[in-house]
Amino acid sequence: KLPEDLITKTLSTLKSLEVRTSSLEDVIPDKSVVVDYIPEDAVVVDLRDLDSYLEWHYPGALHYESVNLEDLRDKTLVLYCDRGNRSYLEALKLREKGFKAYSFLNGAEGLRRNLT
């Protein structure tokens, strides 16, 4: 049996988060670049070629050729490509420039699975 004061002390240090109302930075550690959900306030950017975008894209996603990222500097960006490799590298580059950028896990494939 654990001492009651140990349990009380441990419980007092826990932090509770309401995921729907918390910012992405509260829920995900700063160094994490990959996410598996789209926060409500995020701008989603599709890095695939235009034909792939026109064939299917995440609802509300912007195609990277049609967006000026500087206009979105104060927004949370979630990038995706086919499988997540390119978007991961782009998110890292954008973070170096001060953006809040993330890559969606497994790219468009992961997003499609997430929607079903």
Which residue is listed with tokens 């996603």? 61
**What are the residue boundaries of the structural domains of the chain, listed by start?**
18-115
Q: Judge if pTM exceeds 0.85.
A: no
Architecture of the domain spanning 18-115: 3-Layer(aba) Sandwich (3.40)
In the set 81, 91, 94, 108, the catalytic residue is 81
Q: What is the mean pLDDT of the chain?
A: 86
Q: Active-site residue 81, yes or no? A: yes
- Give me the count of residues in the chain: 116
Residue 8 Ramachandran class (φ > 0 left, ψ -120 to 50 alpha, else beta): alpha
* pLDDT top residue among 12 and 102: 102
Q: Which candidate, 99, 106, 113, 22, places its Cα nearest to that of 67?
A: 99
* pLDDT top residue among 104 and 30: 104
Long-range contacts from 5-14, C-beta under 8 angstroms, 24+ separation: none
48-81 pLDDT, tens digit each: 999 999 999 999 999 999 999 999 999 999 999 9
Interatomic CA distance for residues 62 and 43, integer angstroms: 8
Query: Quick one: average pLDDT of 86-95?
Result: 97
Measure Cα distances from 48 to 6, 43, 52 in Å: 52, 16, 6
